[in-house]
Chain A
Amino acid sequence: MEADTPLRKTSEQKVHVKSNLSWAERIPSKGWLVLSLGTAIIFWTILSFIPSTSRSFPNIIKVTESIGTMIQRGVFWSDIASSLISVLSGFLLGFIISLPVAVLMAWYRPIRLIIEPWIQFIRNIPPLAYVPLVVISAGVGRTPQIIVITIATFLTMSITIYQGVRNIDPTLIKAARVLGAKDRDIFLKVIAPASLPFIMTAIRLGTAIGLTSLIAAESTGASAGLGMRIRALNNTFESSSMLLYIMIIGIIGLIFERLVKLLERRLTGWQEKKEM
């Protein structure tokens, strides 16, 4: 069935080219990942030996051991869970709000002209700066954390989705109209699917922003959480555990990105351009 499709042909060509490639291109991407990880560990180990950096970079063994320490203290899992809850609920709220706002901005010029400057203005302010204001109104606990992350993710996602909706090829809308589409059809059958790639990009950016605002969010007097713990560990100079926690945030970020990529491939595989 697929034997004579143009797509198939290009992949065959690629296979053909591959046979006379340089050594660098012969290593599979999995191999490169292992290599990359290996060199990172080597660098890390070197840093742990250099006197001026060794206190910030305890070696891999110490960091691994600190997992046990944190579990014993009974905070390891609750910190991860707490941060995940904050990031995911903040992100989800931000996403739910940004969708209609983005569509309204793209659809109605006055709304865009009024709201867009606000968003651009607030977007440049680091979340840490407005944390105290949030705490004054929302108190301490889970609520202010979620609010901070919601704000941060909303700002980025609404702009990304809005730009996507605006950049929809107008001939697609014309094509739908001449085929008999009414406003409702245009929205559901053209605008919605056409903006899906941008929505996916927004989700990717949103989860990343959610994580990077974690420290700010958890400086609202949180009682658990990765960001809150890093600050607490700072008071006792426990650099092994700090480095561990920092790396856990990074790993969570990677997992998020993987999941979104997977979703992206399933939902927007029809796209012309391939993501680099």
Chain B
Amino acid sequence: MAGKERNVKVKIENLHKTYPSRNGEVTALNGVNLDIMENEFITVVGPSGCGKSTLLNIIAGLEKPTSGKVYCDDQEINGTGTERGVVFQQYALFPWLTVKGNVQFGIHLQGIKGEEADQLAMKYIRMVDLEDFVDHYPKELSGGMKQRVAIARAYAANPSVLLMDEPFGALDAQTRTQLQEELLHTWEKEQKTCFFITHDVDEAIILGQKVVIMSARPGRIKEVVDIPIPYPRNQESKISKEFLEAKNYIWSQVYKEYLEVRK
């Protein structure tokens, strides 16, 4: 991972975002600067309400910044684009489409039809291990399976940047660990630039090459911590010295921010 020459994939420049509210304005982001390198896996932690989702939505192009700029491949972001895929916490599967229909949604929008679309969809359905559920509707799937479909759907549209907003937040601990491993493997196989929000410090460390800690208020980046755990990573990495050190450090920093919020 390290040592390779890499380009800046996403450049975030002095980003501000305020929302109008009943008593004045709410500042969600207050001067965020961040460079995300190509094929880098970045995880983001920070107290609730510090602007993580806002940042992700702006990168995705689902929201506009109040000021500041975001570039993807040196192009200023203006609205959504298929090079930036999103996985939502609440899965957001189309309930009227089968697993295959969901995974094909983006493929079809790119004008790929018929046999080719089928094969492409199957590739990603196999990737998340759901080939036995191709014709099932979302209501027939467990939460973990739904999120797998959502990941396959995002991958199938072939984005170069994958934005994930607490994708495993609604899952039980066991399913969560399993999906973390799967995501790691997928990323190791088919590298993409990943921006992954979580509340779970362990999750942030096991997945991330860098962990971005956001500060309570106003929404800024407090620190970016490098995670030197070697690849391939798995659950055993969680007992490595590097992991525990990172965990200790990040926890104490995040905890300070939590205290800040409660003040």
Q: Do A and B actually bind?
A: yes
Chain A residues proximal to chain B, CB less than 8 Å:
4-7, 169, 171-172, 174-181, 185, 189-190, 193-194, 196, 268-272
Cβ B109 vs Cβ A180 within 8 A: yes
A194 to B94 CA separation, bound complex (whole angstroms) = 8
Contacts of A185 in B (CB 8 A): 109
Q: Does B175 contact A (CB under 8 A)?
A: no
Interface bits B23-49 vs A (CB < 8 Å: 1, else 0): 000000000000000000000000000
A269 to B137 CA separation, bound complex (whole angstroms) = 9
* Count of A-B contacts judged by CB separation below 8 Å: 73
- A272 nearest in chain B by CB position: B139
Q: Does B80 contact A (CB under 8 A)?
A: yes
- B141 nearest in chain A by CB position: A6
Contacts A5-B133, A185-B109, A271-B139 given; does A178 touch B86 at CB 8 Å: yes
Cβ A180 vs Cβ B157 within 8 A: yes
Interface bits B60-97 vs A (CB < 8 Å: 1, else 0): 11100000000000000000111011101010111111
Cβ B140 vs Cβ A179 within 8 A: no
Shortest C-beta distance, A9 to chain B (Å), equals 10
CB proximity to A under 8 Å, residues B111-130: none
Cross-chain contact of B88 among A171, A270, A271 (Cβ < 8 A): A171
Cβ A180 vs Cβ B96 within 8 A: no
A194 to B97 CA separation, bound complex (whole angstroms) = 11
- Looking at chain B's contact residues, is the secondary structure mostly helix, strand, loop, or mixed? loop
- Looking at chain A's contact residues, is the secondary structure mostly helix, strand, loop, or mixed? helix
A65 to B118 CA separation, bound complex (whole angstroms) = 63
Cross-chain contact of A174 among B88, B105, B142 (Cβ < 8 A): B88
Cross-chain contact of B140 among A7, A176, A194, A268 (Cβ < 8 A): A7
Contacts A176-B105, A178-B84, A179-B157 given; does A271 touch B95 at CB 8 Å: yes
Q: Does B106 contact A (CB under 8 A)?
A: yes
A178 to B82 CA separation, bound complex (whole angstroms) = 6
A237 to B60 CA separation, bound complex (whole angstroms) = 73
New contact pairs (8) apart from A179-B105, A179-B106, A268-B96, CB-CB < 8 Å:
A5-B133, A179-B85, A180-B109, A189-B105, A190-B94, A270-B137, A271-B95, A272-B138
Contacts of A270 in B (CB 8 A): 95-97, 137-139
Contacts A4-B132, A185-B109 given; does A172 touch B92 at CB 8 Å: yes
A-B contact pairs, 24 of them (CB 8 A): A5-B133, A6-B141, A7-B136, A171-B90, A174-B62, A174-B92, A176-B94, A177-B62, A178-B60, A178-B61, A178-B62, A178-B82, A179-B82, A179-B85, A179-B105, A180-B80, A180-B157, A193-B96, A194-B94, A194-B96, A270-B95, A271-B95, A271-B139, A272-B95
Cross-chain contact of A177 among B80, B139, B142, B154 (Cβ < 8 A): B80
Q: Does B235 contact A (CB under 8 A)?
A: no
Shortest C-beta distance, A169 to chain B (Å), equals 7
Cβ A5 vs Cβ B136 within 8 A: yes
Cross-chain contact of A180 among B82, B137, B140 (Cβ < 8 A): B82
- A190 nearest in chain B by CB position: B94
A216 to B253 CA separation, bound complex (whole angstroms) = 72
Contacts of B105 in A (CB 8 A): 176, 179, 189
Shortest C-beta distance, A146 to chain B (Å), equals 33
A68 to B189 CA separation, bound complex (whole angstroms) = 79
- A176 nearest in chain B by CB position: B105
- B157 nearest in chain A by CB position: A179
Shortest C-beta distance, B200 to chain A (Å), equals 21
